[in-house]
Amino acid sequence: MPPTHAALICVALPGLAISTDQGQLTGRGLEGFYHAGRRMLSRCRLRVAGREPLAVQARMIAADRARFVGTVHASPDAGPDPDVVVERIRRADGTELIILHSAAPRPLRLPVEVALGTDLAELGAIASGSTGPELAASVHDSGLRWSCRTGDCTVTAHPPPADALASAGLLRWQLELPPGGRRSLELRVRQKGTGRVRTVGRRVRSPFAPAVATGDDPRVQPLLRTCVEDLHALLLRDPVNPTDTHLAAGAPWRCGPAPAEALAAARITLPLGTRLAVGTLRILARTQLGGPGRESGMIPGPRRDAGAHLPPGCTGTEATLLFPVLLAEARRWGLPERKAEELLPAAEHCLRWLRITVGDGVYLCDPQPGGPQRCEIQAYAHRAALLGADLLDAYGRPGASELRQWAQALRDAFGEDFWIEDPSGGRPAAARTRDGRLVPHLGAGAAHLLDTGLLGSGTLAPGLLDKARTEQLARLLGGTAADSGWGLRGLSATEAAYNPFGHRSGAVRIQETAVAVAGLAAAGHEREASGLLQGMLAAAEAFDYRLPEMFAGEPRTKGSDPVAHPAACRPAATAAAAGVLLLTALAGIRPDAPAKTVTLRPMRTAPLGEIVLTGLRLAGAPFSVRVGRIGLAMVEEAADGLQLGV
């Protein structure tokens, strides 16, 4: 796969623009403009006065835009200082604005040319290195056109070029620049017969509240702003019901539907409102499997690599267990009752699948049938049972007591079957195999044992670990083997097969780190939570606040930066959503909109000093909270009638 770690990726799905820091699109690697997974333009090389601009700066200016600055010596007697500045604004919607600024003391007549080319290749073919040659161009209107059996593309220019040479793929201009003057050119990349790429995030009402974070730590504001921008850029619209939106997993590799990631991201962005949650639930309810088979009730999803010690897991299992959890918690955040009732049958099907699949046993295997009993899947299943039972009781539906009885049996057995005693205090096993053998490796998946879910009255569901073992897990997650200093490693550095770049065997994964921070804080282990939080904020700053889905688990040392993973999606839905969770965990917001209460359990140590979160959404109204420097929280804005719980 071509590396992405140094690329500037402009995203506004279904559009992408991928560039290097040189600004030129050369046709190598992933470079180009994309629409719906097809590369519309692979080459766009600019020459001014017969030479390529010297690249001096490249940066993202928004989730969907990048700015490149270059310089040119246009006058032979200009000396060491360049006299033309070339600015390029590249957008994910297929437009590029080229602006030439003159600093010369006399008028300039500049020849400008743009060399264009494309292979109209699919992203999958580019990733596997199986693209074909560039296609032949033809002159079309004020630009060029390419076509093949599977697609077509045009590039038009404004103002129109003086010359368009199809055989060389060239557009040429002669531009007059007065002293201190500027001229601009705009290129528009389009599929034949279509207008401007209509990006999803700009066509639908935003599902996210206009939240703002401020406070003593200057990093909180750009982190929240960038995370929400990236979430907007990854929005997808359902073709069946265009008012429903959900999130793609990440760019550039996973721009299509990914049920487990979409549900996880919707869940941890509930403080920004419930519209994304309801859209995601509706879309996935339409994919739910029916019929009499053992998969009836499942939300289908692909297999996912689980690292060196376990076979691939089924993301459909994860999605099926997340569905009732998201519905139950969205209701606590203020999802209207009629919308929750509409989705209740699909949640019941998920819960029925859980009970039928477990049968007379205690544990849920993944994948089905006969796969290992994974630690984190037991945590997902236990949470789904308890929150699902809560949901069923709320609507007078049967089955709640059976789910609670099974969850109790799982708690009773888990401590015996999944805990490995050792002189250091023990640890949870990563999994049990079919023959009962324990897989002892400590990984970031153990953080999900801390994420128990939200019940009524601001209380958290009980977890699979007792207080003493939760304390031991906190020590393990806060230790240097698991905590790289930048975040939580996917596999502890002392384990066999540890690989700092292994996406399930040592790389830092943003979602699991945020889950650990929130879970540790909720359990009262604020020292360990604060260490992971500070590391994550430092990593976010190093990545210009656009967090990748993962990065290398190399240890943090004085003066070092986190090391990028060459194949990580950036932006990624769960990573962008994790930024929201990291900040809201500081306030410990536990809502119960049906009961018209909200409880606050802030981090008493106030690791970031004072923080103010304004413009969140709770019970259908704006919600703002302030956490002071001594760890006391105060509601500053809330829905009428919302009471502060004890």
Residue 271: asked if its preceding bond is cis (omega within 30°), the reply is: no
The confidence score (pLDDT) of residue 150 equals 83
Find how far residue 626's CA is from the centre of its chain: 26
Cβ–Cβ < 8 Å for 250, 234: yes
SS3 content of the chain, % helix, strand, coil (to 5): 30, 25, 45
Residues 171 and 232 in one domain: no
Residues 216 and 78 in one domain: no
Say which amino acid occupies 405: Q
Q: Into how many domains does the chain fold?
A: 2
Residues 165 and 218 in one domain: no
Is residue 255 situated within a structural domain?
no
Q: CB-side exposure of 634: number of CA atoms within 13 Å?
A: 7
User: Among candidates 200, 361, 199, which has minimal Cα distance to 276?
Assistant: 200
The confidence score (pLDDT) of residue 565 equals 95
The confidence score (pLDDT) of residue 141 equals 87
Is residue 136 situated within a structural domain?
yes
Cβ–Cβ < 8 Å for 582, 536: yes
Within 8 A by CB and 6+ apart from 319, the residues are 259, 260, 263, 284, 299, 300, 301
The confidence score (pLDDT) of residue 309 equals 82
> Edge-to-edge strand order for the sheet containing 611-618?
212-215, 611-618, 621-627, 633-637
What is the rounded CA–CA span in Å between residue 201 and residue 204? 6
Residues 518 and 454 in one domain: yes
- Residue ranges of the chain with pLDDT lower than 50? none
The confidence score (pLDDT) of residue 205 equals 80
Residues 228 and 185 in one domain: no
The confidence score (pLDDT) of residue 196 equals 52
Residue 445 is given by DSSP the state G
The confidence score (pLDDT) of residue 194 equals 52
Is residue 646 situated within a structural domain?
no
The confidence score (pLDDT) of residue 347 equals 98
User: Among candidates 637, 260, 267, which has minimal Cα distance to 453?
Assistant: 267
Residues 151 and 223 in one domain: no
Within 8 A by CB and 6+ apart from 115, the residues are 43, 44, 45, 47, 168, 169, 170
Residues 401 and 428 in one domain: yes
Structure tokens that stand for 182 in this block: 């500027």
Find how far residue 562's CA is from the centre of its chain: 18
Query: Residue 27 belongs to a domain with what CATH number?
Result: 2.70.98.40
Residues 165 and 219 in one domain: no
Radius of gyration of the chain (CA): 27
Structure tokens that stand for 120 in this block: 């109209």
The confidence score (pLDDT) of residue 204 equals 66
Is residue 2 situated within a structural domain?
no
The confidence score (pLDDT) of residue 297 equals 95
Residues 170 and 224 in one domain: no
Is residue 22 situated within a structural domain?
yes
Q: pLDDT tens-digit profile of 242-262?
A: 889 999 999 999 998 899 999
Residues 158 and 267 in one domain: no
The confidence score (pLDDT) of residue 190 equals 93
User: Among candidates 291, 292, 270, which has minimal Cα distance to 281?
Assistant: 270
Is residue 343 situated within a structural domain?
yes
What is the rounded CA–CA span in Å between residue 366 and residue 315? 9
Residues 148 and 271 in one domain: no
Is residue 607 situated within a structural domain?
yes
Q: Where are the beta strands (DSSP E) in 434-541?
A: 438-439, 508-509
> Residues 24, 26, 32, 33: is their CA dihedral positive or negative?
positive
Residues 482 and 561 in one domain: yes
Is residue 228 situated within a structural domain?
yes
Strands 643-644 and 597-600 turn out to be parallel
Residues constituting the chain:
646
SS3 581: helix
Separate counts of helices (H) and strands (E) for the chain:
13, 35
The confidence score (pLDDT) of residue 128 equals 86
- Identify the domain containing residue 583 by its residue range: 212-237+262-299+311-637
SS3 230: helix
The confidence score (pLDDT) of residue 85 equals 96
> Residues 380, 383, 386, 387: is their CA dihedral positive or negative?
negative
Q: Where are the beta strands (DSSP E) in 300-348?
A: 303-304, 313-314
